[in-house]
Chains A and B, each alone.
Chain A
Amino acid sequence: MTIQETQDEIINDFSLLDGDMEMTVFYIMELGQKLPAMPEADKTEENVVKGCQSKVWLTAKMQDDKLYFTADSNTAITKGLVSLLIRIFNEQTPDAILHADLFFMHKIGMERFIGTQRSNGFAAMIKQMKLYALAFKTKMEVKS
């Protein structure tokens, strides 16, 4: 599935919530609960995403030229939010991630249910994921 297709799927999922704030928050937390567990050993200071009010750990690995992220957070809602990004970016190439336009955020009305603080944190997560993509892309180019 492409980044665009996954986003369309997310937009469709959220539309079923009909704008109900409580349902939306529960749904986001549920998504977080489904996120595969991150090994405790990866929850290091080094893997903490800077700029988030909550604590978010993020790591990435490359397999067959595609990126795979794992993450965790000390707050359930943030974990749910990062799970959305993982769903969009996993199994994508560094180039696709670097050029991704994340239109789903606006379409699902994210600004309605995350405040200014969390918006900044969310932007920091995206930035960190793109930085991973850039790092792996550079590594690939050096190899070839």
Chain B
Amino acid sequence: MVSSSTLAKALDVEKIRREFPIFDQQVNGRDLVYFDNAATSQKPNVVINALIDYYKGYNANIHRGIHTLAEKATKAYEATRHTAQKFIGAKSEQEIIFTRGVTESINLVASAYGRAFIKEGDEIIISGLEHHSNIVPWQFVCEEKKAKLNVIPVSDQGELDIEAFKKLLSSKTKIVSVNHASNSLGTINPVKEIIRLAHEVGAVVLIDGAQAGAHLEIDVQELNCDFYCLSAHKMYGPTGTGLLYGKKELLEKMPPYQGGGEMISNVTFEKTTYNDLPYKFEAGTPNIGDVIAFKYAMDFIQELGKKNIAAHEHELLVYATEKVSALKSVKLIGTAKDKVGVLSFAVEGIHHFDIGQMLDARGIAVRTGHHCTQPLMEQYCIEGTVRASFAVYNTKKEIDQLVEGLDRVINFMK
């Protein structure tokens, strides 16, 4: 077996960095260090060029046009669907629905599936590690249908309590919705086991893959999840697009989410029949340009290899964890055994905003705050954390710069 450090070395990070034009600049007089990848990743030339090529060369509305440009745009748009199908291992392209991203994907399922299949007294399970996007849509459903929302507890290390999850499961459980990896803490959840356990009681499972898309291997058939969501912009792709994977038989059973063009088969004032999958769920003119460019982002990831990327980011995480935790007054938040490249921490006596601003003054971008996971922050009795999250273009040298910046601000404030 090839060791992970060998895999990490398989990547030429300096060469990869040159593909990201955003790094050709200084921020506050220093080279940009970008550690806010869990919020959004930077974009390589291939993605930027795909957008430019589309708008310069073949911008047209898709599917119904018979002219040459419409045909070219349609082909490119559908090529992304094909790539996405392969990227996550779906059975068919009909199972790939383009959305604005994970938030819309979850809302689509909560609304369309929830509206049709959740009844009074049913239960939905989420986890204590969820982003607000995977909490609020389910609260809508529960409120409307008088269903109950249960939450899998989180340990002090930031891991899900699977024994407690088993106790929450019952024949009343209709939906389980958890993330593949936590945006706040980086915890990689045992989703395969969660899916298996949920299926035993007949519940469907949605996996929020926002923090997995660019970092972890995804095979929806192997996982056997019912729904899986991705955001392109966290995967080196453009903002405003992403996808929902759903098992075909479930998507077919679900009523449409929004009404409009594209999603219809035939409209009369008396009765409308709906288009086939996946178009039934893609009402209106979609985000054509961004979807087209999304393909190039997925190709970029596949060319580097998820295993290589994960190995490199793991090496960065281990290095950063060691260096940052050695600083005085630093407390790591989230020390799960399996993590993606997310390092969340608090510094005793110094507000995270001050740290964020101090680091920004040195050209280092981190995220500070509750990371849209307020219930989780409450559990740790903190308002928020400083979060450094890594991507394939980050280096150990940049982590040294982060540590140096942190050291300076801690020494100044103490």
Contacts and interface: CB of A to CB of B under 8 A. Distances in A.
Q: How large is the interface on B (under 10, 10 to 19, 20 to 34, 35 or more residues)?
A: 10 to 19
B361 interface: yes
A77 interface: yes
B354 A75 contact: yes
Given A29-B412, A113-B361, A20 B29 contact: yes
Contacts of A26: 358, 412
Given A21-B29, A22-B362, A53 B353 contact: yes
A29 B350 CA distance: 11
Contacts of A77: 353-354, 357
Q: Which of B29, B350, B357, B413 lies at the interface centre, i.e. has the most chain A CB atoms within 10 A of its CB?
A: B357
Interface in A40-55: 53-54
Interface in B363-414: 412-413
B351 A54 contact: yes
A25 B353 contact: no
A75 B357 CA distance: 11
Contacts of B28: 21-22
Interface in A1-49: 20-22, 24-26, 29
Contacts of B358: 22, 25-26
Contacts of B350: 76
A63 interface: no
Q: Which of B353, B360, B412 lies at the interface centre, i.e. has the most chain A CB atoms within 10 A of its CB?
A: B353
B357 A24 contact: no
A53 B360 CA distance: 18
Contact of B351 (A20, A22, A24, A74): A74
B354 A24 contact: no
Q: Which of A22, A26, A75 lies at the interface centre, i.e. has the most chain B CB atoms within 10 A of its CB?
A: A22
A21 B362 CA distance: 8
Interface string B225-267: 0000000000000000000000000000000000000000000
B148 to A, nearest CB: 33
Contact of A75 (B351, B360, B362): B351
Nearest to A53: B353
A111 B178 CA distance: 40
A77 to B, nearest CB: 5
A76 B351 contact: yes
A25 B361 contact: yes
Given A21-B29, A29-B412, 8 more contacts: A20-B29, A21-B28, A21-B361, A22-B362, A54-B351, A76-B351, A77-B357, A113-B361
Q: Which 4 A-B pairs have the closest CB atoms?
A: A21-B28, A21-B361, A75-B351, A22-B361
Interface of A: 20-22, 24-26, 29, 53-54, 74-78, 113
